[in-house]
Amino acid sequence: MEPTASQLAPYVAWGAFALAFVFGAVGNKTDFCTMGAVSDWVNMGSLNRMRMWLLAIGVAILGANGLQLAGVVDLSKSIYPGPNFTWLSYLVGGFLFGIGMTLASGCGSKTLIRIGAGNLKSLVVFVIAGIAAYMTLRGILGTFRVGVLEKAVLNLSTGQDLPSLIAAVSGVSRNSLILFLSLVLGGGLIAYAYGARDFRANFDHTLGGVVTGLVVVGGWVVSGRIGYLAEDPQTLQEAFVATNSGRMEAFSFVAPLAWSLEYLMFWTDKSKIITYGIASTAGVIAGSAAYALAVRKFRWEGFRDAEDTGMHIIGGLLMGFGGVTALGCTIGQGISGISTLAVGSLMTFVAIIAGAAATMKWQYWRMTREA
C-alpha cells in the first residue's frame, strides 16, 4: 500500500533538519560564507573562500546529476530548470540580494549560522528578511515582482537547463549532455578549487566545500526521492511531500525564513506543518549552536550603533525581496540551482556577486572618504 503524504512528511522534515544540522555545524567550524568569499576576493585578493564555494558547487553538480542519470530523482521537477526564464527577475533580484547580504553581514545561511553562535544582529536580519520575503511572496512587494519584473519572461519549452537547451539544437541526447556537462563543469570547478596550494593545505576548506555540496545532494534525495509520491492515495496526483512550493526542493534560505515566521505565528493552526524549508532553517541554527557551545565559541553580539542597525535592516529587506524575486540565494540559486545546470541560476549567481562586489567598493570608498 502506498504511503500517504502525512506519513512521509516527518521523514522529509527530519531528513532536512539532519542535513541542515550538519551544514550549520560545519559552516560554523569552517567559516563557510558566500558573502565572505566575495569580500576576501574584492578586498584582500584572497580566493580561498571563493574556491570553497566553487568546490561546493562542483560537488553538488556531480552528485545531483549522478542522481539524475541513475534515475533516483528528476531535477526537472524542481523550480530552477522550469520553462519560464524570468531573466529580469534573476538579474534584479540577484543584484539586490548581493547588496543586501553585504549590508547584513552575510547571506541567508550565514545569518542562521550566526544566530546559532549568539549574534543578535543576525536575529534581527532573520525577522526583517523573513517579513520582506513574505511580502514579496504574497504581499505588497509581490505585486511589483509579478506585475513588473516577471513580465520580462522567455518561455523555453525545453526548460532552461543547459542539457535540454543544447539537446534541442544539436540533436545530441539529453542524458549524454548531462553526463558531459556535469563532468566538465563540476569536475572543472573542483579542479580549479584544488589548483591553489594554500587551499589544499587547509583541511577546513575541503571540509566546508565538500560537506556543503553533499548536503545539497542529500537534500535532493530527501525531497525528490523520500518525499516523492508518484500518486498520492488521497489526491491521486503526483506529489512532493512537505514542501512549500509543491515541487522538489533542495536547500535555500530566503523564502524558508518567511515560512518559518508564518509557522510560528500560526502555531495552533493544525493545517500548518513543518516543511522541508522550515526544518532546514531550524537545523542550521541548531547545528551552528551545537558546535559553538561545544567549542565554547558562543558569544552574544549586538549592534554597534544606530547606523549599524539601519544598515542591517536595509540589508535584510533587500535580501528578502531579492532572494524571492531571484528564486533563491547564494545557496538556493548559487548551489542548489546551479546543480540542476539551469541558466537562470548561473545568471543569478553572477548578479549576486556583482551586487556584493559593488556594495563593498562603495563601503570602501565611504570609509576612505570619512578617514
The Cα 55–Cα 210 span in angstroms is 7
Q: What integer pLDDT is reported at residue 371 of this predicted model?
A: 65
Antiparallel, parallel or unpaired: β 228-229 and 154-155: unpaired
Grid coordinates representing 241? 511531500
pLDDT digit of tens for each residue in the chain (371 aa)? 678 888 999 999 999 999 999 999 999 999 999 999 999 999 999 999 999 999 999 999 999 999 999 999 999 999 999 999 999 999 999 999 999 999 999 999 999 999 999 999 999 999 999 999 999 999 999 999 999 999 999 999 999 999 999 999 999 999 999 999 999 999 999 999 999 999 999 999 999 999 999 999 999 999 999 999 988 777 778 999 999 999 999 999 999 999 999 999 999 999 999 999 999 999 999 999 999 999 999 999 999 999 999 999 999 999 999 999 999 999 999 999 999 999 999 999 999 999 999 999 999 998 888 76
Q: Helix crossing, 5-30 with 276-294: angle to 10°?
A: 40
Question: Domain segments of the chain: what residues?
Answer: 5-370
Listed in order, strand segments (DSSP E) in the chain are 84-85, 154-155, 228-229, 239-240
The residue length of the chain stands at 371
What pTM did the predictor assign?
0.96
Q: Helix crossing, 87-103 with 343-370: angle to 10°?
A: 40
